[in-house]
Amino acid sequence: MEFEDKTLVCQDCGKEFTFTAGEQAFYKEKGLDNEPKRCKECRDKRKAARENKEFK
């Protein structure tokens, strides 16, 4: 299956981001069916917030 880059909109900040063909292939390989809902910056922020809660 051929993948093409897709432009998605982040549900947190509303910015457009690209879901690359390589990322799509990786998701498929790992059995992930849903496209990402957040851009990399917002995913990183959420991850950092979760990690800070775990260490408090």
pLDDT digits (tens, 9 = 90+) for 26-55: 999 999 999 999 999 999 999 999 988 876
Q: With a threshold of 0.75, does the pTM exceed it?
A: yes
Q: For the stretch 21-42, what's the b/e string if a residue is b when 16 or more beta carbons lie within 10 angstroms of its beta carbon?
A: eeebeebeeeeeeeebebbeeb
Q: What is the dihedral of CA 49, 29, 1, 34, to 10 degrees?
A: -40
Distance CA 12, CA 30 (A): 25
Q: Say what the pLDDT of residue 37 is.
A: 97
Has residue 56 got a pLDDT over 90?
no
Q: Say what the pLDDT of residue 55 is.
A: 66
